[in-house]
Amino acid sequence: MTLGYFWSILFLSLHAMVPITLTAAGEVVGERAGLFNIGLEGILLLSAFTGALGAEAGGWPLGLLVGIGTGAVVGLFFGLVNAYWKGNQLITGVGINLFALGFVAFGLQALGTPGFHDVPRDVRLPAIQTPVGGLSPIVLLALVVPFAIHWFLNRTRAGLWVRAVGENPEAADVAGVPVELVRLLATTFGAALAGLAGAYMAISWMGSVTKEMAAGRGFIALATVVFSGLRPILTLAGGFIFGFFDSLATWIANIPGVKEAVPWQFVSTIPYIATLLVVTGVIGRVRFPKALGVPYRRE
C-alpha cells in the first residue's frame, strides 16, 4: 500500500465518521437526559430523503435545514410520546425505524426513481478543495460538535439540568427543573443532529438517496454511545473507527483480483464487525444514567 492510499483512506474515513459521530453525540445528550432513542436509524434515512428534496427545491442550505428540521420533528414526536405521555421508548423507536423504511421506499417510488435517487451535483453542499480531494465542511463541524456538547453538559446550567433529569428526575423535580421539558428538548436536539447527519449523507457525502443508505449507521451510533460511556468526545473515536473500516472495506472490495473473487457484500460487513468488536471490546465499566429509559412520574 502506498502512502497515497493511506491518506485517501484516512480522508474517506473522516467522511464516513461524520454520520456516526453526529448521531452518537446527539444521542449522548438524549440519553444523559434519560431517553433512549432506538429510532436514530430511521431518522437518518428520513432526513436523507427530505434533505435531498429540500436541496432540490431550494439549494443545499434549504436541504440541510430540512434535514435538521425532519430530525427535530421526529425527536419532538419521540419526546412528546415518551417524556410527556410516558410511552414505551423501545416501541416508539422501532416504530420510527419501520415508518422511515416504508415512507422512503414509497417516496422514492413516487419520485419515479425507485430504489435510487440521484441528487443533482449543483444543489449538493460545495466541498472544500484540498490536495487529497474535496472535503465536506460538515466534517469540520462534526469534529467540533462533540467538544461543544462536552462543554455544554459539564459547564452550563442547562447541561446540569440535562444530566440531573437523566440521573435522578425526582431530585431535579424537587429542585424546580421542568423534567419533561428538559427531556423533550434534549431528545429533540439529539434527533436534530441525526437529521443533519442524514442530510449530510444525501447532499454532501454520497450525493444520492437509496432506501438502504442508512445501512445500520443509526445502530452503530447507538453502540458508539455505549462505547463512549456517554462522553461526547469519545464519539469521535467511535465514529472514526467505523469510518476507517468502512473506507478500508471499500478499498479492499475494489482491489483488482479481490473484486472478482469475493462478493462486495461480504467485504462490506467488515466495518460492522470491526466496529462492534472494538466498541464492545473496549467497554469497561460504563455508568449509565440511573433513570435511562424510565419514564418519570410524580408519585
Partner 1 sequence: MPEPLLKAEGIVKVYPDGTVALRGVDFDIRPGEIQGLLGENGAGKTTLTKIISGLLPPTLGRILLGGEPVRLRSPKEALARGIGMVHQHFALVDDFTVLENIALGTGRPADRALRASVAELMERTGLRVPLDAPVENLAVGERQRVEILKVLSRAVRILILDEPTSVLTPVETDELFGFLRRLKGEGVGIVFITHKLREVLEITDRVTVLRRGEVVGEVLTRETSAEELARMMVGAELRPRGRRPVELLTDIPRERREAVRTGVEPVLVVEDLRVPAEGGGEAVKGISFELYPGEILGIAGVEGNGQTELVEAICGLRGGRGSARLRGREILGLPPLELYRLGLAHIPEDRWKYGLILSFTVAENSILGRQRSPRFLGPLTVLRWGEVFAHARELIARFSIQAPGLEAPAKSLSGGNQQKLIVGRELSKEPDVVIAAQPTRGLDIGAAEYIRDLLLGLRDEGKAILLVSADLDEVLELSDRVAFMYEGTFTAVTTPAELDRERAGLYMGGMRG
Residues that bind partner 1 (CB under 8 A): 156-157, 160-161, 163-164, 167-168, 170-177, 287, 289-290, 298-299
**For residues 121 and 287, which CB has a smaller minimum distance to partner 1 in the complex?**
287
**For residues 3 and 174, which CB has a smaller minimum distance to partner 1 in the complex?**
174
Picking from 77, 90, 53, 87, the residue whose alpha carbon sits closest to that of residue 199 is 53
> Measured between alpha carbons, how far is 231 from 229 in angstroms, rounded to an integer?
5
Nine cell digits for residue 139: 466534517
Amino acid (1-letter code) at residue 229: G
Q: How far is the CB of 89 from partner 1 (least distance, A)?
A: 19
Q: How far is the CB of 178 from partner 1 (least distance, A)?
A: 8
Cβ-proximal residues to 245 (8 Å cutoff; 6+ apart), any chain: 270, 271, 274, 275
**For residues 176 and 256, which CB has a smaller minimum distance to partner 1 in the complex?**
176
Other Cβ atoms less than 10 A from the Cβ of 290: the count is 11
Q: How far is the CB of 164 from partner 1 (least distance, A)?
A: 5
Q: How far is the CB of 32 from partner 1 (least distance, A)?
A: 10
**For residues 24 and 172, which CB has a smaller minimum distance to partner 1 in the complex?**
172
> Measured between alpha carbons, how far is 112 from 290 in angstroms, rounded to an integer?
48
**For residues 154 and 280, which CB has a smaller minimum distance to partner 1 in the complex?**
154
> Measured between alpha carbons, how far is 262 from 187 in angstroms, rounded to an integer?
41
Cβ-proximal residues to 174 (8 Å cutoff; 6+ apart), any chain: none
Q: How far is the CB of 233 from partner 1 (least distance, A)?
A: 18
